[in-house]
Structure 1
Amino acid sequence: MSVLLLRLAGPLQAWGSTSRFTQRQTEIAPTKSGVIGLLAAARGLRRTDPLTDLLGLDFAVRVDQPGQILRDFQVARPLDGGDSMPLTNRYYLSDAAFLAAIGGDSELLDGLHEAVRRPQFPLYLGRRSCPPVAPITLGVHPGTVAEVLGDWPWQAAKRLRQRAALTVSLEVLSDAPPGSEVTETFQDEPVSFDPAHRQYGWRPVVRTWVAAPNPDGRPPVAAAMASGGPEQADHDPLAWL
């Protein structure tokens, strides 16, 4: 198996799986349907086009920088100045960064990598108001989704990496393998993006943790001091000797 890695980072992101009407929620991490939609846009697929070979891909996302939930209160009026539209609350993730891993056939993933590099449609992080801050794709790599997410360096902001240890523990949300213990279930398995008949199946998810390398990190004692004090590591005043 091969894995396509995507770095999803920007000032704002929004990955809704249960949004309805005037309440536009966001999950705490990118959804599978959102990332599959991003790949479909990169390939130039219309919403009414079949997803076909994108439906069987494995998916996992590593939370490198959780960010913060931001609420945007919006009101709209029609162009003719008539009655105002319903008030809406739109929620976003602010200052977040994620590493998404898509596992599948290497030939298919190579094509998706090239499509993301030169997308047919503009790519967004969930909503059109959420552009990425840098090129998204990190290439195609051999191995399983879990292996690649455990080996790839931490993708948080440099100011955070420099204050942390040489290895950091990061949460991973992934497709639950058959027979595994499911942590939670989302209606997040895309079937069709057709506006007239959107379809999503239930997706079982398992939450795990991986130890990721941090090339910009510090030794444990220095990292604990930089992050706010000795409560995060055993205090040994003679350690530097």
Structure 2
Amino acid sequence: MSERTGVLTLRLAGPLQSWGASSRFARRTTERAPTKSGVLGLLAAAQGRERGADLSDLAALTFAVRLDQPGTRVRDYQTAHHGDTGKSMPVSERFYLSDAVFVAAVEGDESLIDALYAAVRAPTFLPFLGRRSCPPSRPIDLGVHRGGLWRALRAEPWQAAAWFQRRRARERRIALEVIADLAAADGPGDALRDQPLSFDPRHRRYGLREVHSGAVTVANPLSTARRASPPPPPLQHDPMGLLED
């Protein structure tokens, strides 16, 4: 990347989220964290891009997500009928993440990052967390950072709900897992098919990307832990001092 880069951080929080990377037919699964294709789709929608628009500039962004509050995996069943015949369609099994909070970050050219930040603050199409039925519960824009993706993830305060933070009240600092593009991390990685090539509904295409799991440490604002006070210095007592002239 060039020296003139920026990092956009997004808070992804809501009652339900669903980030599929390998859903097929009537079974719609979710990954345990937001996918690159899902977040880039959110950014493309915020800019008002058509589904068949070129995605090469967005796909080139380096992506990472911090797991601030992993949430709980839940399952739902949905039924539907054909509108013209009334015939029942197959039962659809869908999975979601409940009460999850993530911080997603994308790094790239400074001008593109600034344009994306302006778009999420005044989106053309409203954002959703993986599916249209999953709106965010809070504004998603956190800000733009300089100095690299990992530095931005360390700088962003812990975004978990207060009740979740209180569960870790005895800890002054919290280690949070980060799933990042391998290009932004060191060490071996895993393959995930969520590199968007086209959002065209007639022929959606996704490529493989390599991801790496790491961690950053952030402060717990609700910590009740205190540093132990240093012991007072020993008294300098001389029992013979009063007898001296």
- Please report the TM-score for the alignment, with normalisation by the length of structure 2: 0.87
CA offsets per residue over residues 191-231 of structure 1, 9 Å max, x none? 1111122111111000011111222222179xxxxxxxxxx
> Match of 1:92, SS?
strand
Identify which of 2, 22, 28 aligns with 2:26: 22
| Seq. identity, % | 51
- The yes-or-no answer on 1:167 pairing with 2:173 is yes
User: Does the CA-based 8 Å contact 2:55-2:197 persist in structure 1?
Assistant: yes
Q: The residue matched to 2:216 in structure 1 has which SS?
A: strand
**Structure 1: segments with no counterpart, 5+ residues:** 222-235
Q: Report the Cα distance in structure 2 between the residues aligned to 1:220 and 1:19, rounded to whole angstroms.
A: 47
The yes-or-no answer on 1:32 pairing with 2:40 is no
Alpha-carbon contact 1:70-1:92 (below 8 Å) kept: yes
Q: Name the CA distance, whole Å, in 2 between partners of 1:183 and 1:220.
A: 38
CA deviation string 1:61-86 (max 9, x = no partner): 00000000010011111233521111
CA RMSD of aligned residues (A): 2.1
1:185 aligns with 2:216: no
1:157 is the counterpart of 2:161? yes
Task: Label 1:191 to 1:95 Cα distance change in 2 as closer, same or farther (>3 A).
Answer: same
Unaligned runs of 5+ in 2: 231-245
When Rg is computed on C-alpha atoms for both structures, the one with the higher figure is 2
> Does the CA contact (< 8 Å) of 1:151 and 1:213 recur in 2?
no
Structure 2 distance, partners of 1:82, 1:163, is 49
CA distance in 1, matches of 2:111, 2:179: 25
Match of 2:142 among 138, 141, 161: 138
Q: Partner of 1:33: helix, strand, or coil?
A: helix
Partners of 2:40 and 2:96 lie apart in 1 by 19
Q: 1:4 to 1:179 in 2, by over 3 A?
A: closer
**TM-score normalised over the length of structure 1:** 0.88
CA contact (8 A) 2:8 2:144 kept: yes
Letter in 1 for 2:73: I
Cα distance in 2 for residues equivalent to 1:70 and 1:154: 24
Q: Deviations over 1:4-55 (max 9, x none)?
A: 0000000000000000101000000000000000000000011111113212
Give the alignment partner of residue 6 of structure 2, picking from 2, 7, 15: 2
